[in-house]
Structure 1
Amino acid sequence: MFKKCIFVFIAIFFIFSGLVSFAVEKNSEIEISEKLIAEVEFSPLFFLASPDSKHIAYVGEKDGKQFVIVDGNKGKDYDNIVITLIFSPDSKHVAYGAQKDNKIFVVLNDIEGKSYDSIGSTIIFSPDSKRIFYSARSDNKGFVILNGVEGKKYDGIGKSLVFSPNSKHIAYGVKSGNDYFVVLDGTEGKRYDSIGSGIFFSPDSKHLAYWAQSGSKRFPVVDGQEGKNYDAIGNTIVFSPDSKRMAFVAQKGNKYFLVVDGQEGKHYDAIGNTVVFSPDSKRIIYAAQLGNKRFAVIDGKEEEYREGIGATIVFSPDSRHFAYVAQKDNKHSVVIDGKEGKQFDAIGNGSIFFSPDSNNVAYCAQADNKRFVVINGKEEKKYDDVGNKSLVFSPDSKYLTYMAQSENKHFVVVGTEKQNFYDNILNLTMGRIVFDSLDRFHYLAVRDKGVYLVESRVKKNN
């Protein structure tokens, strides 16, 4: 395993946040409007923002009963909310699992589904938000439910339930007797001694891949065709954005290597979990290890040896640039196109972002117990905390927004001027900054017990 060369920012119930722009013109001002969308009347057990960051839902509890509140509207009381809340991709639907009188069911838009002995840990919406998919058990048999219609019963259903990107296909793993196999659109695949926990559609929805095992050997299965045998295969199979290429990590003996388009790469002592194709599908990067040295491998060429390589590895949108986190002497830096940047105490996990035009790169760093954003090598103002995965460039690449906190206050900053202060600004599963146009963005913020939709506009003065 690789040494951890990333850090996790402080996580409290609401992720701290703030906002900055690195290129707002001096003759610009920010117009801000607030709209109250909900009063939080109960202490949330779990809090969730919609994908569009315009709605909120949370689990509350009173008098021994639990319930869900969406945008301030309270749902029915239940003995327990047993499956985490989920919004549909279009943010128009909410689903969760509930328990009442020893029966468990899914609630979709406040409508209860059929009761079962148990339901699986995952509820998923199709990418187009028109279908809902989960598994359940009754009478010691497992099956899936797609838009309320039960599928064939098996001894067990796997955890991986997947829709194709175009929402037209579903796939899942099952157990029947001593056999394991994948069901695609109701058609059972070949039976094996074991199958992997991950099932993967290609971006164009035309291909399906997973690994399977017969005897002591494992092999990839793509569109029903078995590939070469290996001692082991990594949990993730990666398709290129154009769906024409595929990669996975395989093992023979004590050596690991990347298999790309059926061709085995150089053998290493270890390979990291992150394998990334460039947006144009022509390049590929991953981290590897020989002895005590770790390094990135880009298009088959090994980069300079490092003490550690982080899990964050990214390409620019135009595929011409790449960046990753490296470790040396207990310090961390971002390497861009092979050139190592300044060393810091830590680099935020998942915080490296290129602008849409690929001309700018930003990430979060830590030094002397302060967190800050580094943009094109320049350190921005230091704060007590920065949301490491909150960085968002504007569509025209002129503005960078991110979340920060200072002295227990959470605020938006544009240029060097702090805007409204809030008790919290919602981030990650609890919201994000969303650009609505080149000069307009919004996010969700908390003041006292109110959750507000905050809409901002960068306005140029004439």
Structure 2
Amino acid sequence: MVEKKDWDWEIESRVIVELLDCPLRYIWREEPKVSPDGEKIAFIINEGENKFSVCQNKTHWEEAYDKVWSLKYGPDGRLSVLALTDEGRWTVVTEQVPWENSFDFAWELQFSTDGSQIGVAIQNEQQYGMAVNDVLWPTLYPNANHFTLSPKGNHSAAVVQTQNLSQGDIFKYQEGVFSVAIDGQTWDTKLVNIWTPIFDHQGKHICAQCRTSLYTYTIVVDGKVWDKEFSSVWRPAFNPATRSCMAPVRIGKKWGLAQDGEIILTPRFYQMWNFIFSPLGDSWAAIVATDLGKWTVCINGSTWKTHFETLVYDITFSPDGQRIAAAGKNKDKWFVLVDDQVWNESFDMVFEPVFSPDSKHLAVKVEKNGAYTYAIDGKVLPHSFDQLWMPVFSPDSKKILLRGITENQYLRAVIPVEG
């Protein structure tokens, strides 16, 4: 893996691929993917009936498959796909090297934070589970969903159905047949429903939303269900410092916040979701509705003065935890909201804001009039692109890597943050 500090950070613009057409005959190609460092661009291509491959920087892979999908660059820059072999089996192919194991079906290709571990959801003989780095779970299940890989990739998990249900067997369903399997082994706890299992930063603990009956909801942590039940809950999160678990919960018609099963913020919001912690765990934030059609950000229990009529989305903390940015929408126009201030420009779409490593700068991919560009610290770049990937700051926070397509050219540019 090439560290970000070792990428090419010279201030320049380079055309990586002059014309985005592979030097071989193909019938069609899918949407492109680009590597984290911007040096490569790849497509899935169809060369004929039941003949699919990958073209990267105008060089195609040697092997062709009956079908290829889920093309992705991992954080380490390696290119992976899910491929259907001529034996009718699916497998993972990374940098043209297939796994030894193959499956009846595979989907949900995932990576650890550093890209070294690769996980995938699989199905064999109508049984479901996961495989990580070519190692299959020892036990598969009648149903599985919400597949997830821990940040380090040392564990994998999914919500699984532990028993077969005959059609219309509502009584067994209400007794609880769902659990969480970690590396293929389930909790002893069985519940009516479970959603969005979340690993802590070390990959040692899991929390999830759950339903204990048809009408009651709560949070389950490592198989232990909170004592208190609620009329609804949203996705929980672990505090990275204390490992306590917090989640938005609804009592009656209002939303508040619970920690380890106890209410710590009295329900007063019409809605509360997208709950997150700061990197050090000393602050939390969530998107809230203080009234119908009044959306804003709540930090440690205090709400911002700025409100939006339609939506607030993509909330994110700066690396130092002192700043927050989000996207806000009024009717059909999107805005960038940072530290309770709205940037002047409006857009057709605003994507997730990105803070610089030193937390001093903010870059956002935006769309206007069918074209894409970046807005940096409130200033919109004069150049636009047909396609544009998310901005990446240099480790010293002084430069931004831009990866975009314009006039059928894929270019990689490094631009200064200021000036």
Change over 3 Å in CA distance of 1:407–1:152 after alignment to 2? closer
1:159 counterpart = 2:107 = yes
Change (3 A) 1:165 1:422: closer
Contact kept in structure 1, 2:254 and 2:271, CA below 8 Å: no
1:437 aligns with 2:396: yes
For structure 1, the 5+ residue unaligned runs are: 1-32, 39-54, 56-69
Cα contact 2:66–2:85 (8 A) shared by 1: yes
Q: Is the 8 A contact 2:349 2:368 kept in 1?
A: no
Contact 1:90 1:128 in 2 (8 A): no
Q: 1:172·1:184 contact (CA, 8 Å) conserved in 2? A: yes
1:332 is aligned to 295
Whether 1:395 aligns to 2:344 is no
Q: Are 1:264 and 2:225 matched, yes or no?
A: yes
Unaligned 5+ runs, structure 2: 1-9, 166-176
Superposition pairs of residues 34-433 of structure 1, within 5 angstroms: 35=12, 37-38=14-15, 70=17, 72=19, 74-75=21-22, 76-81=24-29, 83-109=30-56, 110-119=59-68, 121-130=69-78, 132-146=80-94, 147-149=96-98, 151-154=100-103, 156-165=104-113, 167-215=115-163, 216=165, 217-254=177-214, 255-265=216-226, 266-272=228-234, 274-280=235-241, 282-302=243-263, 303-309=265-271, 311-327=273-289, 328-342=291-305, 343-350=307-314, 352-366=315-329, 371-377=334-340, 379-385=341-347, 388-402=350-364, 421-424=382-385, 430-432=389-391
1:324-376 CA-to-partner distances (Å, cap 9, x unmatched) read: 111112211211111122233244310x3333222233334355876544443
Query: 1:78 offset after TM fit, Å?
Result: 1.0
Q: Whole-Å Cα distance in 2 between the matches of residues 115 and 446 of structure 1?
A: 26
Distance 2:141 2:97 in 1: 31
Asked if 1 retains the 8 angstrom alpha-carbon contact of 2:254 and 2:267, the reply is yes
- Alignment-mate amino acid for residue 393 of structure 2: V
* Shift in alpha-carbon separation, 1:98–1:446, aligned structure 2, 3 A: closer
Any idea what SS the aligned residue of 1:431 has? coil
Task: Give the equivalent residue in structure 1 for 2:5.
Answer: none
Structure 1 distance, partners of 2:353, 2:404, is 16
Cα RMSD (Å): 3.7
Give, in angstroms, the shift of residue 321 of structure 1: 1.2
Q: Is the 8 A contact 1:236 1:248 kept in 2?
A: yes
Q: How many corresponding residue pairs? A: 388
Distance 2:386 2:302 in 1: 35
What's 1:45 paired with?
none
Q: 1:166 to 1:233 in 2, by over 3 A?
A: farther
The 3 A distance-change label for structure 1 pair 371 and 123 is closer
Q: CA deviation at 1:259?
A: 1.0
The residue type paired with residue 152 of structure 2 is D
Give the superposition deviation at 1:405: 7.5
Q: Give how far 1:157 is off.
A: 1.6
Supply the distance in 2 between the matched residues of 1:122 and 1:419 (Cα, whole angstroms): 32
Judged with a 3 Å threshold, the aligned counterparts in structure 2 of structure 1 residues 307 and 167 are, in CA distance, closer, same or farther, namely: closer
SS in 2 for 1:74: coil
Look up the equivalent residue of 2:326 and give its one-letter code: Y
Tell me if the contact between 1:181 and 1:191 (Cα under 8 Å) persists in the aligned partners. Answer: yes
> Secondary structure at 2:32's aligned position in 1?
strand
Q: Shift of residue 240 of structure 1? A: 0.7
User: Aligned in 2, Cα 1:168/1:332: closer, same or farther, shift over 3 Å?
Assistant: closer
Q: 1:80 & 1:36 partners in 2: Cα distance? A: 29
**What TM-score results when the alignment is normalised by the length of structure 2?**
0.76
Q: Could you tell me how far apart the structure 2 residues matched to 1:268 and 1:142 are? A: 42
CA distance in 2, matches of 1:412, 1:141: 42
The worse-fitting range, judged by mean Cα deviation, of 255-264 and 440-449 is 440-449
Partner of residue 168, structure 2: none
- Contact 1:220 1:227 survives alignment (8 Å): yes
Kept in 2: contact 1:353–1:362 (CA 8 A): yes
SS at match of 1:421: coil
Q: Is the 8 A contact 1:277 1:283 kept in 2?
A: yes
Deviation at 1:162, TM superposition (A): 3.6
* Alpha-carbon distance in 1 for matches of 2:120, 2:333: 45
Mapped to 1, the partners of 2:407 and 2:109 lie a distance apart of: 39
Q: Give yes or no for contact 1:160–1:198 (8 Å, CA) kept in 2.
A: no
Q: CA separation of 1:180/1:331 partners in 2, compared to 1, >3 Å: closer, same or farther?
A: closer
Determine helix, strand or coil for the equivalent of 2:313.
coil
Q: Deviations 1:201-239 (Å, cap 9, x if unpaired)?
A: 322332222233232412222234321242444343211
